[in-house]
């Protein structure tokens, strides 16, 4: 089972850069997209709905902002849209697809980098989210929560960690929150289970030569319950080709979604 997560910083922009053509070669079983920056009604069926995939979207109320999607080769049994938290759900940040006992989630954590107000929104969301995640980890299902978590967990997860300790995404309370996520809450950082290197990043600023110099941050994760996390066998960060300021993260699991089910008949079948 191949799971891919990608913050596209605009699905229409990524499509023009060839993302869906590239996707044909990668063939993930499930693709989680963040920052679609589009309403579903704005997307043409052909370019954005490749043959063989079902697609589901949760849009932000504000056009051109946020939004998440899940593409899958098997039709999910059910979807959970949103977290029941009004301010967060209005921004289109959570979509859970259920496949039997496994849930795959596309998640986009708010960023606080634009100023104190947005950091306040992020801070206010983190504790209710931790409560929800802790309950999920104990409910008997397996979860893979894919997305842009907008937090680099440890010094290994960003190049210039010393100079970023007072910046959103690497604040002490944010890193402590991640400690709890991978500690008492019971989730696993699947990439780190497979790769312990300190130069593995998924986001680079557009400024200067950040990407060329690999001056990046690892803020895109696949966060999973221990059962399915223990089946992970391979990981890859696709730095090239470039579709956005993030790189897609792909992880292979020794797990089946029962892909014997019939695929969509045509690209417009969703």
Q: What is the pTM of this model?
A: 0.93
Distance CA 153, CA 164 (A): 12
Place of tokens 């980890």: 137
Q: What radius of gyration, in Å, describes the C-alpha atoms of the chain?
A: 17
Domain 2-253 CATH superfamily: Endonuclease/exonuclease/phosphatase (3.60.10.10)
- pLDDT tens track for 39-74: 999 998 789 999 999 999 999 999 999 999 999 999
Any idea of the CA torsion for 158, 160, 163, 168, to the nearest 10 degrees?
A: -30
- pLDDT tens track for 223-251: 999 999 999 999 999 999 999 999 999 99
**Token pair for 49:** 């709905």
Residue 258 clears pLDDT 90, i.e. is over it = no
Helix (H, G, I), strand (E, B) or coil at 29: coil
- Give 260's pLDDT tier (boundaries 50, 70, 90): very low
Catalytic positions are 148
Nearest to 68 by CA among 18, 109, 15, 25: 109
Mean pLDDT, the chain, integer = 93
Q: Please say whether the beta carbons of 29 and 3 come within 8 A.
A: yes
Distance CA 267, CA 262 (A): 14
- Give 269's pLDDT tier (boundaries 50, 70, 90): very low
* pLDDT at site 193: 97
């Amino acid at each position: 089972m191949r799971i891919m997560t990608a913050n596209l910083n605009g699905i229409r922009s990524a499509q023009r850069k060839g993302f869906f053509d590239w996707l044909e070669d990668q063939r993930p079983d499930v693709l989680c997209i963040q920052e679609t920056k589009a309403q579903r009604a704005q997307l043409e069926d052909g370019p954005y709905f490749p043959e063989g995939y079902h697609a589901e979207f949760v849009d932000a109320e504000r056009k051109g902002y946020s939004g998440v999607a899940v593409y899958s080769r098997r039709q999910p049994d059910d979807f959970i849209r949103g977290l029941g938290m009004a301010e967060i759900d209005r921004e289109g940040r959570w979509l859970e697809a259920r496949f039997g006992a496994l849930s795959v989630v596309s998640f986009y954590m708010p960023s606080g980098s634009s100023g104190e107000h947005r950091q306040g929104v992020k801070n206010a969301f983190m504790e209710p989210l931790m409560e929800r995640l802790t309950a999920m980890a104990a409910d008997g299902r397996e979860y893979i929560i894919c997305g842009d978590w907008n937090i680099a967990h440890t010094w290994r997860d960003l190049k210039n960690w010393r100079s970023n300790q007072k910046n959103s995404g690497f604040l002490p309370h944010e890193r402590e929150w991640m400690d709890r996520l991978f500690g008492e809450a019971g989730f696993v950082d699947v990439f780190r289970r497979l790769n312990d290197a300190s130069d593995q990043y998924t986001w680079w600023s557009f400024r200067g030569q950040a990407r060329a110099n690999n001056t990046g941050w690892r803020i895109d994760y696949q966060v999973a319950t221990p059962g399915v996390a223990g089946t992970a066998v391979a990981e890859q960060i696709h730095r090239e080709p470039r579709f956005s300021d993030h790189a897609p993260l792909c992880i292979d699991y020794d797990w089946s979604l029962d892909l014997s089910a019939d695929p969509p008949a045509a690209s417009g079948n969703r």
